[in-house]
C-alpha cells in the first residue's frame, strides 16, 4: 500500500508542506500493519472525495490523502476539524510521519 499525504493552510499562511509518501513495503512489519489498520478503520476507500468545510470555517488545515493498494486507489480532501475519530487518527499518524 502506498499513502501520499499533503497538508496546507492554518491560522498563519505557510507555504504548502512537501507531500509525504509512505510505502508499507518499506516500513517495518509492525508499522505497516498499524498504517493498514488505520486506513481500514477510517473506511478510507468509502470516504467521499471531498468534505465541505464546516460553516464559517476559516484558517483551518486542509489535507489531501491518496491511498493506492492492489486493485484500488482513492484520494480524499479533508478540512479541519475532522469529527470522525478514526479518520482523525489516520491524519494524526500521517502528520507525525511528515515531521
Residues 6+ apart with CB under 8 A from 65: 3, 4, 5, 6, 44, 75, 76, 78, 90, 91, 94
Determine the Cα–Cα distance for residues 86 and 63; give it in Å rounded to an integer: 15
CA nearest neighbour of 23 among 51, 4, 7, 6: 4
Residue 34: how many other CB atoms lie within 10 Å: 14
Confidence band, pLDDT 50/70/90 cuts, at residue 91: very high
pLDDT digits (tens, 9 = 90+) for 45-84: 999 999 776 666 667 888 999 999 999 999 999 988 888 9
Query: Global pTM?
Result: 0.88
Amino acid at each position: 500500500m502506498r499513502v501520499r499525504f499533503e497538508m496546507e493552510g492554518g491560522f498563519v499562511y505557510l507555504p504548502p508542506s512537501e507531500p509525504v509518501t509512505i510505502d508499507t513495503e518499506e516500513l517495518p512489519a509492525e508499522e505497516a500493519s498499524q498504517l493498514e489498520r488505520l486506513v481500514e478503520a477510517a473506511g478510507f476507500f468509502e470516504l467521499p472525495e471531498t468534505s465541505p468545510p464546516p460553516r464559517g470555517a476559516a484558517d483551518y488545515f486542509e489535507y489531501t490523502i491518496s491511498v493506492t493498494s492492489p486493485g484500488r486507489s482513492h484520494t480524499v480532501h479533508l478540512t479541519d476539524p475532522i469529527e470522525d475519530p478514526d479518520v482523525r487518527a489516520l491524519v494524526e499518524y500521517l502528520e507525525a510521519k511528515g515531521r
